Amino acid sequence: MIIYGASGHGKVIAEILEKNGFTNIIFVDDKPVGDSFLDYPLHHTSKLPELDDQDLVIAVGNNRTRSKLAQSIDKKFTVAVHPSAQISHRCTPGAGTVIMAGVVVNADSTIGEHVILNTNCSIDHDCVLEDFVHISPNVALAGNVHVGEGTQVGIGSSVIQGVRIGKYATIGAGAAIIEDVPDYAVVVGVPGKVIRYNVPSV
Ligand SMILES: CC(=O)SCCNC(=O)CCNC(=O)[C@H](O)C(C)(C)COP(=O)(O)OP(=O)(O)OC[C@H]1O[C@@H](n2cnc3c(N)ncnc32)[C@H](O)[C@@H]1OP(=O)(O)O
């Protein structure tokens, strides 16, 4: 199993894979420091084509970067789920998605590709999370929340039922989101207010 990104996020993913019985882990990074990371070999990303027949997970927290990498890497992407996560049997997370310890996903929610469900977040029933979303630790999404592609929902924030959050938006730490959020908006506070807009991807 290859982990793309010798990062703190990569360490967490490695431990999830270990808990799922993987022992043969290889890290790759575009700026490798040394030749090992945790207890595993570390290579430059240029070695990727030589690492045949290995599934890969992208350990890059930046949602835009993760999206670009996913489009450029020709490997099968694995889904990494911590054994303590409680994922509805009616939900099949998309390829490349990582799900940390203590996460709950309830019935009929849809989780896209290369999504990060970080530690202890709670995704209630009928939510839709599009590709490259990052739900940070201790976030609570009520039922029927829609999160657009590439949006980060910040640590400890809460979103009430039925809200639609646009694409590549940023929800600040600790925010309370009680109304829809436009694409690219950066929203902070209780209740959440737009403070600026992210630059659309070029
Ligand atoms: C395992 C892991 O580590 S996962 C990572 C989890 N990390 C997160 O969730 C980070 C979430 N990020 C934030 O909350 C950030 O503060 C952001 C993205 C909302 C804003 O960051 P920046 O664009 O750099 O904004 P900046 O720090 O310049 O603040 C702009 C203003 O918003 C305010 N502000 C920033 N964040 C927040 C917040 N979360 N809640 C309330 N106000 C905030 C600042 O006080 C400042 O106000 P001022 O203009 O009156 O001085």
Which residues surround ligand 1 with Cβ inside 6 Å? 118, 136-137, 154-155, 170, 172-174, 186, 188-189, 195
Quick one: which of 17, 98, 12 has its CA closest to 2? 17
Residue 195 CA, ligand 1 centroid: distance in Å: 10
Contact between 175 and 189 under an 8 Å Cβ cutoff? The reply is yes
Catalytic residue among 9, 82, 114, 125: 125
Q: Domain map of the chain by residue range?
A: 2-72, 80-186
pLDDT score for 60: 98
Nearest Cα neighbor of 178 from 150, 133, 142 is: 142
Spatial CB neighbours of 88, under 8 Å, sequence gap ≥ 6: 105, 106, 107, 108, 109
Query: Do 2-72 and 80-186 show the same overall fold?
Result: no
pTM for the model: 0.97
Per DSSP, the residues of 152-175 read EEPTT-EE-TT-EE-TT-EEPTT-
CATH of domain 2-72: 3.40.50.20
Q: Residue 13: which H helix or E strand, with range? A: helix 8-19
Query: For a substitution probing ligand 1, which of 119, 147, 188, 194 has the most ligand atoms within 8 Å of its CB?
Result: 188
Identify the pLDDT of residue 202: 59
Query: What's the 49 CA to ligand 1 centre distance in angstroms?
Result: 39
What pairs with residue 76 in β-bridges? none
Task: Confirm whether the ipTM is greater than 0.85.
Answer: yes
Counting atoms of ligand 1 from 1, which one is nearest the CA of 12?
1
Query: 66-89 pLDDT, tens per residue?
Result: 999 999 998 999 999 999 999 999
Q: Which of 157, 149, 187, 148 has the alpha carbon at shortest distance from 66? A: 149
Fold of 80-186: UDP N-Acetylglucosamine Acyltransferase; domain 1 (2.160.10)
DSSP annotation of 35 reads S
Question: Is 125 annotated in the active site?
Answer: yes
78 alpha carbon – ligand 1 mean position (Å): 31
